[in-house]
Amino acid sequence: MALTSTKQKKEIGDRLRFERERLGYTELQIAQLLGIPLETYQRFEAGETDPGIFRMPRLFAIGFDILFIIADERHIPGVEEDVLLKKFRTLSLKGRATVFNTIDALERLGPNIKRKIRNATRGDHSKD
């Protein structure tokens, strides 16, 4: 994030503050976590200084939504997504390929299934 503009630094700083407050941390706690002086961290939130990409893994480890901080896109997985992702990560390559093949098949079948359901609810079985 070395080439951020003044506006981008301000926006990143605002989102960094928002995440810190959302998680209930103080500025001092985050500064200590990052191993930097409090004043340096405060400059990040003020948009005066770019926090840099190498600090993001530590923030991620304590719950910061890094995608939100960097790109202003929110993604905090729900419990079901988190469980599914953990299970997916434990699969072999063959298992992962099977999951993707299943998803592809469902996407291809989706329109046909919708049409059959729609026709069944109308009582029109001639188009099955």
Q: What is the pLDDT of residues 19-47, one digit of tens each?
A: 999 889 999 999 999 999 999 999 999 99
**Does residue 1 have a pLDDT over 50?**
no
H helix intervals, the chain: 6-23, 27-34, 38-46, 56-61, 66-71, 79-90, 93-122
| Residue-wise pLDDT tens digits, 70-118 | 999 876 666 777 788 788 889 899 998 998 888 888 888 878 877 888 8
3-class DSSP assignment, residue 26: coil
pTM of the full structure: 0.57
Under the banding of pLDDT at 50, 70 and 90, the label for residue 13 is very high
3-class DSSP assignment, residue 79: helix
* Nearest to 12, CA basis, from 38, 49, 40, 37: 49
Residue 107: per-residue pLDDT: 83
